[in-house]
Structure 1
Amino acid sequence: MRKIFNIAAALLIVATGCKKFEDFQTDPNKPTVSTPDLLLSTVIQDAFQSTTLGATLATRQMVFVNSVSNEQYYGWTRAGFDTYNDLRQVVKMEEEANRMDKPEYVPLVKFFKAYYFLKLTNTFGDIPYSDALKGENGGLSPVYDKQQNIFVSILDDLKAANALITNTTPEVQGDILYGGTMEQWKRLINTLSLRTLMSLSLKENSASLNVKARFAEIVNNPETYPLMTGNADNGELVFHDVLGTRYPTYNDNDLQTAYYLDATFVDLLKGLKDPRLFRFAEKAPKYVSLPDNDFAAYAGAKGSDPLNDNSTKVLAGEVSKIKSRYFNNPVNEPSIAVGYAELQFILAEGVVRGWINGSAADYYKKGVQASMLFYGITQPSIDEYLTTNPYPAADQLKAIMTQKYIASFMNSDWHFFYEQRRTGLPAFDVSGGGVLNDKKVPKRWMYPVTELQNNQANVNAAIGSQFSGNDNINGIMWLLKAE
C-alpha cells in the first residue's frame, strides 16, 4: 500500500513539474483578459472628463491665490506623454474587439485614437505616431511624425470611422456615453472632424490639405455625414454620486479656498449682461447684500497681477469665488469634451470664412442658446440676451470666438486655449506684473525629459526640424504657420 502511495506521489510531482512557472502566478479567480465593453467604459471615463482647472487659469477665466501658478502666469515648461497610456487602453480595446469578432468597436477605436493624438500634437507639435504604441515590436525609440502628416491621417481615420457605422452596425456594449446608439457616435465623429478641420484654418490655402473642400463635404452631405442635432448629442461625461464617478472637483479644498474668477472674464460677462455669470460665480463678500442677479455684486482679480496683489483683493472681499456647486455638488453638471454649442460656433466660423454657405447668425444663435441651456439659463433670459447681443454686422469672428470662450467654462479641457492660439481671440491679458515668459502667452509645451533620456536621437531630430534645435514654449509649430 505504501509503495502504491509513493508511486502516486511521484506521478503527481512529475505532472506538477511539467507546468510552467507562470502557471503558478495566475489567479484562477481573476480574469487575465478583458472584454471590449469593459474597456470602453473606462476609455470613455478617461477621455470625456474634460474639466481642467489649469486650463481655466491659462485662459483667463479663473485665478489661483495660494501660490504662483505656472498655468496662470505662463511659466510652464514641459508636459508629459501620459496620454500614450490612455491610447494603450484604446489599443487593448481594439485587440479584444478583434479577438471576440466585434467589429462594431472599430469606428470607436478610430475616434479615440484621433481624439488623443490631436491632444498630443496640439501640445507639442511633431510626436511619435506611426511607430507609437508598438511596444516591444516597435522598440522603445519611436520616430517622430510630422504634424502635417498626423493631421491628414487623423482626418482620414475619422472619415473611415464614419463610413464604418451603418444602419446595420450592432450597438456596442459598455457605452456609458450614448447607451450604444451608433448614430450618435457617428454625429460625434463628424463633429470632431469639423473641429479638426477648423483647427487648420491657417492652412486653408494649402492645396495638399484641401481643408475647405473637406469641411464643405461634411456639412453639405448630412445623410452621409450626420452632425449633432442638440445638447443631447454632446460628447459629455455625466457624473453620479458614487465613489469614482463624482464631479472631478467635488470636495476639492483648493477650489473652495483658492480659486476665484478672473477680472477680465467677469468684466466680459458683465459687459454683455450675461446671466451665465450668476451660474459661474458667487457674489464677492464685499457686495453680498446685493441681489444675486445684480451684476454689480460680482468682481474678479486680474490673472496677470502679482500673487500678493490678488491675495490682498481677496482678503478685502473684493473678488468672487467660483460657484459653490462646483465643489459641493457631487453630480453638478456633465463635463463636455466635444459639444453641440461648439459645433454651431464652428459652423458660424465656416460661413464667415467662406468655406460653406448658410447663415452665420443662425448658427451663432443656436450656439449661444445651447450653451445657456446647458448652464441652466431660462428661455426668456436667453431670448432677452440674444436681443441685447445680436449677431453683429462687423467683427463677426470676434463675436463667435467670444461666445465659444464663454461656453468653454469648466469644460472642453485645453481646447479653447488652442482656439485662442489659432485666432488670437479674445486676447489674454498679460499687462500685469506677475506674468512670466517675457509677458508672452506660450504656444506649446516642451517635450518630456523621459524622451531626452530614452529617445534622444528622435526627439532631437524633431526639435531640430521644427524649432532649429531650440525646444521652447514659444516655438511656432507647423499648425500655426499660415499658408
Structure 2
Amino acid sequence: MKLKYTSIILSGALLLSLASCKKELSDINQNPNATQNPQPDYLLTGATKSTADTYWGIANNMDASLLFVQYWAKIQYTDPDRYIYTNGSFQELWTTGYSKSIVNLNKIISLADAQANPNYKGVALVLRSWVFTLLTDQYGDVPYKQATNIQQFLTPAYDAQKDVYFALLDDLKAAQASLDPSGKAILGDVVYGNNITSWKKFANSLRLRIALRIADREPEKAKQVLADVQAEGSGYISSNSEIAQFGYLDSPNQNPISNLFDTRDDYRISRTIVDQLFALNDPRLPIYASPTKDATPKTYVGIPNGLLVGDAANLGFTKTSKPGTYFTAPHAPAVIISYAEVLFDRAEIAARGFSAENAEDLYNQAIKASFLQYGISGTPVDTYLAQQTVKYDASNYKKSIGNQKWIALFGQGLEAFAEWRRLDYPQLKPAVAGALNGKMPVRFIYPGTEQSLNGTSYKAAVAHQGADVLTTKLWFDVN
C-alpha cells in the first residue's frame, strides 16, 4: 500500500490560500519541498486513508456515533456518553472531509480530465460522494456546490440536505458512466485493488443507500434512481468478497481502534447490544464483545450508556467487556458498505413496493451474509432464523429490518446512526445521565470554526435548518 500523504501537502496549500485570500500570494507561497504536480495514484491512496481514519476513528466513531447507537459505552471520561460536547467536538469529520478528502479527490478529477483517464475520475467521484454523504448525514445542510471550487469560494454557501443528496445521485450516475473496466488502468486503489468492475458495483450500492435516505421524503426520485441502476446493469455488491472496505496494516498504519486500545481503557461494549444478542442467542456475541477479564456468570457484560463517572467506574474494569478482538485487531478493516447492508437495502426496497423482489427472502439473505462476514455458517444460522423474534414481519418491515440491520452494522457507527434515525429501530433509551432532557442526539453540531470563519453562510444554514443543537432533526429524519 502506498501511504504517501500527498493530502497533507494539498491541505497545506489550501490553508495558505485561505490565509492570503489572494491568488498571487498563494502562487508565491509554494512549498519548495513539496511536489506541485501530484500523481493521482498517491492522491487516491492518501485521500482514501485519511477518510477511513476519521470515519473509523475517535471523534466521529468512538466518542460519538458508536455511543449514540449504543454499540459502545464509556467506563471513564463519560461526558460524550452523556451527550456533553464542545463546539469543537465534531471538527474532525468536517476538517478532514473538506480540507483533505474532498480537496484531493477534486484534484484527482482534474488530473483525470487532463490525462484522459476517466476511471480515475469515476473512482474519485464515488469516494467524494461517500465523503459528502458522511457530512450531510451527520450535519444536515453542508457546503456542496461551492465546496468543489474552494479557490473561488473561500466562504462557501451551505446547500440544503435534499439538494446535496440529489446532487450526489447525479455525481454517482456520472461516475458510473465514467467507469470502464476496459478503459485505462488506475493505480493507488486500496479498496478494490484497481478493479473497476467492483467500483461500478460500489457506485450503485451507494446510490441504493442514498435512494433509501430520501425515500420517505421523495419516493418518486428514489424509484427513478433504482430504475437508472437497473437500466445501467452493473448491479450491486453481490458477495462478502466484494465488501467496500479499507484494509489496515501493522503499526503505525493499524486500525484506529487498535491504536486507541494500545494506550487507553475507557471504552466498554454497551449493555444494550449485549442484552439484545443474549436475548436472541446470537452467535456474533463473542465476536462483538470480549470476555470479562475476571470470571463473571455471563462471561460478556455490557455497561449502560451515559453513567456518571463514579457509577461507571464502580462496575469494575475487569468485570465488564471491551469490544471484541476482531474490532481491536491492527488489521481490522474499516467497512464502508457491506454485502449484508446491500441485501437489507434491497429487502426494504421490495417492502416499500419499489421492486418486485421478495423482501423476506432478501432479509434472510442479509442476516446470513452478516453471519458469514464473521465466518459463521450452517446450523447456527438456521437456528437463529427460525426464532419467532427474528422472523421477518411484513406488517412492520422497519422494525424487522431496523433491528437486524442495527446488529449487522456493528462497528460502523456513522452509518448505523443514520439508519437508526431513518428507520426508528431499534427503540433505544436515552443515556442514563444524559444532558439533553431525556432526548437523544439526532445530528452533529457544526464546528465552532464555521461561526467565526464562515459566519454568514453558517447563519443562513441555521435559519433554514433549525437550531445548531444535537436535537434538531435533519430533513431525511421524518419521524
TM-score range, shorter chain: 0.7 to 0.9
Equivalences for residues 21-100 of structure 1 within 5 A? 26=32, 31-49=35-53, 50-51=55-56, 52-54=61-63, 55-70=65-80, 72-76=81-85, 78=87, 79-80=90-91, 81-82=94-95, 83-85=97-99, 86-100=101-115
Shift of 1:116: 1.2
Give the alignment's TM-score, normalised by structure 1: 0.84
Closer, same or farther: CA 98–320 of 1 in aligned 2, 3 Å: same
Which runs of 5 or more structure 2 residues have no equivalent in the other structure?
Answer: 1-26
Shift of 1:236: 0.5
Shift of 1:249: 2.2
Closer, same or farther: CA 77–479 of 1 in aligned 2, 3 Å: farther
CA–CA distance in structure 2, aligned partners of residues 159 and 466 of structure 1: 27
Residue number in structure 1 paired with 2:404: 403
Q: Which amino acid aligns with 2:290?
A: E
Q: 2:315 aligns with which of 313, 316, 324?
A: 313
Q: Do 2:119 and 2:180's aligned partners in 1 also have CA atoms closer than 8 Å? A: no
Q: 1:300 aligns with which of 295, 299, 302?
A: 302
Which runs of 5 or more structure 1 residues have no equivalent in the other structure?
Answer: 1-20, 291-295
Q: Do 1:58 and 1:417's aligned partners in 2 also have CA atoms closer than 8 Å? A: yes
Closer, same or farther: CA 347–325 of 1 in aligned 2, 3 Å: closer
SS in 2 for 1:193: helix
Q: Do 1:184 and 1:233's aligned partners in 2 also have CA atoms closer than 8 Å? A: yes
SS in 2 for 1:127: coil
How much identity, in percent, do the aligned residues show? Answer: 27
Closer, same or farther: CA 337–449 of 1 in aligned 2, 3 Å: same
Deviations 1:32-82 (A, max 9, x none): 321111111112223344433232212111111111232x22233542221
CA–CA distance in structure 2, aligned partners of residues 31 and 381 of structure 1: 55
Equivalences for residues 266-415 of structure 1 within 5 A? 266-285=274-293, 287-288=295-296, 296-314=298-316, 317-327=318-328, 329-331=329-331, 333-388=332-387, 389-392=390-393, 394-410=395-411, 412-415=412-415
CA–CA distance in structure 1, aligned partners of residues 30 and 361 of structure 2: 66
CA–CA distance in structure 2, aligned partners of residues 91 and 24 of structure 1: 19
Residue number in structure 2 paired with 1:136: 151
Residue number in structure 2 paired with 1:420: 420
Residue number in structure 1 paired with 2:24: none
More displaced 10-residue stretch of structure 1: 340-349 or 246-255: 246-255
CA–CA distance in structure 2, aligned partners of residues 182 and 441 of structure 1: 41
Shift of 1:305: 3.5
CA–CA distance in structure 1, aligned partners of residues 372 and 277 of structure 2: 16
Q: Do 2:118 and 2:179's aligned partners in 1 also have CA atoms closer than 8 Å? A: no
Q: Do 1:104 and 1:171's aligned partners in 2 also have CA atoms closer than 8 Å? A: yes
Q: Which amino acid aligns with 2:392?
A: Y
Residue number in structure 1 paired with 2:200: 186
Give the alignment's TM-score, normalised by structure 2: 0.85
CA–CA distance in structure 1, aligned partners of residues 30 and 290 of structure 2: 59
CA–CA distance in structure 1, aligned partners of residues 117 and 371 of structure 2: 39
Residue number in structure 2 paired with 1:109: 124
Q: 2:191 aligns with which of 177, 185, 194?
A: 177
SS in 1 for 2:245: strand
Shift of 1:187: 0.1
Q: Do 2:156 and 2:457's aligned partners in 1 also have CA atoms closer than 8 Å? A: yes
Rg (Cα) greater in structure: 1
Deviations 1:184-217 (A, max 9, x none): 0000000000000111132145x5xx22332344
CA–CA distance in structure 2, aligned partners of residues 213 and 199 of structure 1: 14
CA–CA distance in structure 2, aligned partners of residues 474 and 175 of structure 1: 38
Residue number in structure 2 paired with 1:237: 246
SS in 2 for 1:104: helix
SS in 1 for 2:437: helix
CA–CA distance in structure 2, aligned partners of residues 58 and 267 of structure 1: 16
Closer, same or farther: CA 330–455 of 1 in aligned 2, 3 Å: closer
Q: 1:478 aligns with which of 471, 475, 479?
A: 475
Q: Do 1:62 and 1:259's aligned partners in 2 also have CA atoms closer than 8 Å? A: yes
Closer, same or farther: CA 443–395 of 1 in aligned 2, 3 Å: same
Q: Do 2:207 and 2:225's aligned partners in 1 also have CA atoms closer than 8 Å? A: no
Closer, same or farther: CA 299–232 of 1 in aligned 2, 3 Å: same
> What RMSD in Å do the two structures reach over aligned CA positions?
2.5
Q: Do 2:68 and 2:441's aligned partners in 1 also have CA atoms closer than 8 Å? A: no
CA–CA distance in structure 2, aligned partners of residues 251 and 477 of structure 1: 33
CA–CA distance in structure 2, aligned partners of residues 240 and 287 of structure 1: 33
SS in 2 for 1:437: coil
SS in 1 for 2:291: coil
More displaced 10-residue stretch of structure 1: 91-100 or 183-192: 91-100
CA–CA distance in structure 1, aligned partners of residues 446 and 109 of structure 2: 28
Q: Do 1:282 and 1:298's aligned partners in 2 also have CA atoms closer than 8 Å? A: yes
| Counterpart check, 1:261 vs 2:272 | no
CA–CA distance in structure 1, aligned partners of residues 425 and 353 of structure 2: 19
Deviations 1:68-112 (A, max 9, x none): 232x22233542221101111111222332333322211112112
SS in 2 for 1:438: coil
Q: Do 1:77 and 1:446's aligned partners in 2 also have CA atoms closer than 8 Å? A: no
Residue number in structure 2 paired with 1:15: none
SS in 1 for 2:399: helix
